[in-house]
């Protein structure tokens, strides 16, 4: 009986650890994404569900740290000047943005 209980506890812990690995986006990051998505696509209940679905899908594809890096690159590309040139060129930053864009495209297909 104790072994069964220990096995169940271990299975639940492993399941929650796996879920946590997929769900590593902080709530405020998810909310920011949903707010921007809704501002772009419409302030409706239907859009709330679609935008929430999209960030959930992105989170299953892209680790949070990679998401933050790609978002930073995209934001910096909007700033003019020489100092931000490093965010506009180079294989590494282009790969980051491409991976983010693929995750976004997949989320759009699945959620919209």
Q: What is the pLDDT of residue 12?
A: 42
Residue (of 52, 53, 64, 61) closest to 26 by Cα position: 64
Average model confidence (pLDDT) for the chain?
Answer: 84
User: What share of residues in the chain are helix, strand, coil (percent, to 5)?
Assistant: 85, 0, 15
Per-residue pLDDT tens over the stretch 1-51: 444 444 444 444 444 444 445 569 999 999 999 999 999 999 999 999 999
Q: Give pTM, 2 decimals.
A: 0.76
CA–CA separation, 36 and 65 (whole Å): 19
**What are residue 25's phi and psi, to 5 degrees?**
-80, 130
SS3 call for 99: helix
Q: Residue 107: is its pLDDT beyond 50? A: yes
Q: What is the DSSP letter of 90?
A: S
């Amino acid at each position: 009986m104790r072994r069964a209980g220990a096995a169940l506890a271990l299975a639940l812990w492993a399941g929650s650890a796996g879920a946590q690995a997929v769900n590593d986006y902080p709530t405020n990051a998810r909310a920011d994404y949903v707010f921007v998505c809704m501002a772009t696509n419409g302030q409706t209940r239907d859009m709330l569900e679609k935008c929430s679905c999209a960030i959930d899908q992105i989170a299953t594809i892209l680790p949070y740290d990679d998401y933050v890096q790609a978002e930073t690159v995209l934001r910096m590309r909007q700033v003019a000047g020489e100092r931000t040139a490093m965010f506009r060129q180079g294989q590494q930053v282009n790969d980051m943005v491409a991976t983010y864009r693929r995750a976004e495209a997949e989320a759009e297909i699945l959620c919209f």
